[in-house]
Amino acid sequence: MTILGQWVAACASDALEQEEAFRFDHEGRTFVIVRSPEGEYFAIDGHCSHEKVHLAGGIVDGHIIECPKHFGAFDYRSGEARRLPACIDLRSYDVKVESGMVFIRL
């Protein structure tokens, strides 16, 4: 049986420019929310899967977020690891925008 998570407000939608990342912490977990060049929002786990470094400090380029420590890279739309030394995919989360707020489903 699939248990659907709850929608949690993460930030104001205008808090992020295109190709910008935002750190969101919730109940002991951490996430990174990214706004794409097309203006869509995505959310994945906040820590790089190589070492425990937060991705929100990394550069967003197109649909890629680069880890600030060793420059591993992830596709933030899916969480897929795209460049070594990061080789383990991150979990991605559903996102919606309502009333000027970005929500992620946890």
By the criterion CB under 6 A, which residues form the site for ligand FES? 48, 50-51, 53, 67, 69-70, 72, 85-86
| Minimal distance, residue 73 CB to ligand FES, in Å | 8
Q: Counting Cβ atoms within 10 Å, is residue 78 exposed (0-12), middle (13-18) or buried (19+)?
A: middle
Closest CB 69 distance from ligand FES, rounded Å: 4
Least Å distance, CB 8 to ligand FES, is 25
Q: Which is nearer to ligand FES, 40 or 61 (CB)?
A: 61
**Strand intervals (E) in 13-100:** 20-26, 29-35, 41-45, 60-61, 64-66, 73-75, 80-83, 92-93, 95-98
